[in-house]
Amino acid sequence: MFSEQAAPMAQGLLAPPSAKPPTFPRVPVLGYLDCSQPFQLGERSFSRQYAHIYAVRLAGMRPGLERCARSQWGNDIVLRKLSELQAGEKCCVVGTLFKAMQLQPSILQEISEEHNLVPQPPLPKYIQPSDELILEDELQRIKLEGAIDVQRLVTGTILAVYGSEQDDGRFLVEDHCFANLPPPLPWNGPSSDRFVLLASGLGLGSVSGEALLSTQLLVDVVTGQLGAEGEQSCAAHIIRVILAGNLLSQNTQSRDTINKAKYLTKKTQAASVEAVKMLDEILLQLCTSVPVDVMPGEFDPTNYTLPQQPLHRCMLPLASAYTTLRLVTNPYQANLDGVRFLGTSGQNISDIFKYSSMDNYLEILEWTLQAGHISPTAPDTLGCYPFYKSDPFILTECPHVYFCGNAPHFESKLLQGKEGQRVLLVTVPDFSATQTACLVNLRDLTCQPITFSGFEADNED
């Protein structure tokens, strides 16, 4: 692994300077292909309703789900639409899930005057025992009960349920299934050790500057200015850095100036201006040495709805001069040396976290892969562009590395699928809180955290 190779050669730092210092050329980039065209929006039109995206989601995932249902419950099961249901008949229905939640923030309730409600403060989770699941297809909807975990599922998931309709009009579920892992991609990975560094949540522009030392240490390790020859030779195997969102901190989003009078705020600058300048300098140091992919996140200056468009290069004048800087969308998909990466900056996972009983980000990440959709809660509770032709968040091919940024901790898991899929699931932690980044080895799909802690507050040395 990374650190094992580095350790034995630390003695080099104590030797006298040699006439010809050793150089470590960075391993060349063999193949890079950007596959995130479905997430790049050209001309945007918001005059459409969201019914289209749900309709194409159902129509697009229905064939796969019918196949999964047949393979799970037998070839002779009856597939029915909700309008064709007969009471008491055991059949399978494919539809979109809707979870009716009492605590779900509703703008209509907030602005309704007859209720006189104070707007609800944001809660960590909006689930309640009284939530109900409703299955909708193209024409009708029906309430679900039975062997289905109401708390765990979220709105927008496409699933197949097997059961029968009861006399009271509800559907008694005996079993349900999701689209399961998408078909595997062929493996063309490298034969020698190559690392990709995943980091997210740099959080520049925050009030406290604690993470700045760690960020600088990260940059120094990647550019090979830190450590002895061992570390430098290892750093030369890092072929790419992916920054998965939240480059700016949440503090840069403060909107106090909106409420103040104009004469007080005339000369003040938005906090994000300084933060973006800092980001530009950090990226400049990185780009001179290694290709960098920058994904926008929740607090970055780009659009709010998913898919977030790349940051504009005019904001990063110093770093955009280098071709190694790639400003990419969120979600991001690319082929790095034959290994398919797919990841987001974490908004989809944290949104599911709020509306589901699942607590672990890695568990939610795995669940989205099993459900065959990157972000089922969009557009219900997560902002989404009103697509009409196709839903780009449906997973059609199984990536080799599937990551999400801005998670509370680092976790990783290698998932083996039934059709030979091998996926490395990584939850990239928030760097400003944990000072941890991840190194993914492309040769054998292993992942290692790397922590850059500075001086601790209670360290008395």
Contact residues: other proteins, CB under 8 A: 45, 47-49, 51-52, 55-56, 59-60, 63, 138-139, 386, 388-390
Query: Which amino acid is present at 336?
Result: L
Across the strands, what pairs with 414? 424
Least distance to other proteins, CB of residue 54, Å: 9
**Two tokens at 169?**
């009009």
User: In 141-251, which residue ranges form alpha helices assigned H by DSSP?
Assistant: 210-222, 229-235
Choose between 45 and 259: whose C-beta lies nearer to other proteins: 45
Least distance to other proteins, CB of residue 79, Å: 16
Choose between 146 and 386: whose C-beta lies nearer to other proteins: 386
Choose between 41 and 56: whose C-beta lies nearer to other proteins: 56
Choose between 182 and 230: whose C-beta lies nearer to other proteins: 182
Q: Which helix (H) or strand (E) holds 98?
A: strand 90-100
Least distance to other proteins, CB of residue 308, Å: 22
Least distance to other proteins, CB of residue 57, Å: 11
Choose between 56 and 433: whose C-beta lies nearer to other proteins: 56
Choose between 44 and 260: whose C-beta lies nearer to other proteins: 44
Least distance to other proteins, CB of residue 46, Å: 10
Q: Is 79 exposed, middle or buried (0-12, 13-18, 19+ CB in 10 A)?
A: middle
Q: Are 279 and 202 in contact (CB under 8 A)?
A: yes
Q: What are phi and psi of 243, to 5 degrees?
A: -100, 110
**Two tokens at 372?**
């065959």
- Sequence-distant (6+) residues with CB within 8 A of 441 are 1, 193, 194, 195, 447, 448
Choose between 173 and 394: whose C-beta lies nearer to other proteins: 394
Q: What are phi and psi of 451, to 5 degrees?
A: -110, 135
Least distance to other proteins, CB of residue 140, Å: 11
> What DSSP line would sit under 233-251, residue for residue?
HHHTTEEEEEEES--B-GG
Least distance to other proteins, CB of residue 81, Å: 10
Across the strands, what pairs with 419? none
CA distance linking residue 443 with residue 254, whole number of Å: 43
Buried b (16+ CB within 10 A) or exposed e, 294-308: bbbbbbbbbeebbbb
Choose between 33 and 59: whose C-beta lies nearer to other proteins: 59
Q: Beta strand pairing status for 401-407 and 422-429?
A: parallel
Q: Are 369 and 421 in contact (CB under 8 A)?
A: no
Least distance to other proteins, CB of residue 84, Å: 14
Least distance to other proteins, CB of residue 45, Å: 7
Q: DSSP assignment, residue 376?
A: T
Choose between 138 and 363: whose C-beta lies nearer to other proteins: 138
CA terminus-to-terminus distance, the chain: 30
Considering only CA atoms, which of 441, 16, 13, 24 is closest in space to residue 227? 13
Across the strands, what pairs with 98? 134
Choose between 52 and 70: whose C-beta lies nearer to other proteins: 52
Least distance to other proteins, CB of residue 393, Å: 16
Across the strands, what pairs with 427? 404, 411
